[in-house]
Homo-oligomer: A and B are copies of this chain.
């Protein structure tokens, strides 16, 4: 039965209700009825046995489990979900405006960490990459409507984030990553960027730096704002008048461009803090190209750590955290809120610690 597409989702028609692509095979599936027949009991007995509920004797249960194992039976996820069971999946949408995605190992590490929890519980991860927040909302609505996911992870919370209220309205359990501050009723897993930034500035100031620049990320993100504010506060406390934060779009291109601009100034900064490892590496590339020695004439700190910072030379001093562990923490919180809504509060993840490498030193001259 080919999905004879005639008339499905005509341009004009109410959009979006066509069926997804694909046609399954109809080699009849192995069902609990087959197991029931094999063992000589009713399908319900099989269901009881497989789900560990009372109603079957231990002897029968064992025979059923063995038969299921032997026949290599697996529950049909759709059939379970239809009965009101959870979908057995959580969703993650990454909204990236450009093709820059992927150079930042952060999400890959995070996903890897999440998987170690999710796969142990046989929960699948639905991943979608979209262009902007609007598209992200569409995906959430579809997933919720199709009952495809039991929970959502919302990343990169923004100031006045439209996703929060939208997801709350959908009634899908969700965790916000990195959203300390306003994030509605949704719990968050957050790290103390503020403290991390303060530590960094104190460290640079102690080395003798006074002209510190901050190549920040997207200003719309909450964590970017927190870092900018922290830098300003630290500067105030330490009496550093020449600090500045320059917002970017997190791309290597802007990171490089801003670095070039900063280093061409008459009073060029002697230290630059980058909000991502990719931008830090790009900045290092620019400095090298311009003949500015690192760390002799310029100290570089990355606000995010990964192989990237260790692989270049000089290796970059960075605020490192165990992103894998963060993924674990996030996934656990997510499963928890799916199972028992209301029992999860905000969770503070470990504060990134400054890992000093070769890219920082006393200011030159």
A24 neighbours in B (Cβ, 8 Å): 84-87, 147, 150
User: Are the CB atoms of A85 and B281 closer together than 8 Å?
Assistant: no
On chain A, the number of residues with a Cβ less than 8 Å from chain B's Cβ atoms is 113
Cβ-defined contact, B105 with A21, below 8 A: no
Mask: chain A, 326-347; 1 = CB below 8 Å from B; 0 = not: 0000000001001111000000
Segment of A65-73, A212-220, A223-231 engaged in the interface with chain B = A65-73
Q: Is the CB of B66 within 8 A of A14?
A: yes
Closest approach, in angstroms, between the C-beta of A10 and any C-beta of chain B?
A: 8
The reply to whether A171 and B112 contact each other, CB–CB distance below 8 Å, is no
Binds B, one of A153-161, A188-196, A239-247, A308-316: A308-316
Partner of A77, one of B4, B17, B148: B148
Is the CB of A109 closer than 8 A to any CB of chain B? Answer: yes
Instruction: Please report the C-alpha to C-alpha distance between residue A122 and residue B130 in the assembled complex, in whole angstroms.
Output: 12
Q: How far is the CA of A144 from the CA of B286 in the complex (A)?
A: 49
Within 8 A of B (CB), among A88-108: 88-89, 96, 99-103, 105-108
Q: Does chain B have a CB within 8 A of A262?
A: no
Note all chain B residues with C-beta closer than 8 A to A101.
108-109, 112
- CA gap between A310 and B100 in the complex, in Å: 12
Chain B interface: which of A36-44, A46-54, A176-184?
Answer: A46-54
Beta-carbon contact of A129 and B111 below 8 Å: yes
Q: Is A123 an interface residue (CB 8 A)?
A: yes
Option from B125, B128, B281 in Cβ contact (under 8 Å) with A119: B128
Bitwise, A125-160 to B at CB < 8 A (1) or not (0) is 111111000000001011011111011000000000
Contacts of A338 on B, CB cut-off 8 Å?
21-23
Interface assignment of A197: CB less than 8 Å from any CB of chain B: no
Q: How far is the CA of A88 from the CA of B145 in the complex (A)?
A: 14
Q: Which of A25-33, A201-209, A263-271, A295-303 contacts B (4 or more CB under 8 A)?
A: A25-33
Asked whether, in the complex, the Cβ of A339 is within 8 Å of the Cβ of B72, the reply is no
Q: In whole angstroms, how far apart are the Cα atoms of A18 and B74 in the complex?
A: 10
At the interface, yes or no: A256 with Cβ under 8 Å from chain B? yes
Whole-angstrom CA separation of A107 from B68 in the bound complex: 36
Least CB distance from A303 to B in Å reads 16
CB distance from A259 to the nearest CB of B (A): 11
Chain B min CB distance to A72 (Å): 7
What are 9 residue pairs bridging A and B, where the CB atoms are less than 8 Å apart in the complex? A7-B61, A24-B86, A24-B147, A26-B84, A77-B147, A78-B87, A124-B126, A278-B311, A312-B312
Ranked 7 nearest A-B pairs via Cβ: A74-B145, A102-B108, A20-B88, A22-B86, A8-B52, A78-B81, A14-B69
Chain A interface (Cβ < 8 Å from any Cβ of B): 2-10, 13-27, 29-30, 50-53, 61-62, 65-66, 68-69, 72-82, 84-89, 96, 99-103, 105-109, 111-112, 115, 119, 121-130, 139, 141-142, 144-148, 150-151, 171, 252, 256, 278, 281-282, 284-286, 288-289, 306-308, 310-313, 315, 324, 335, 338-341
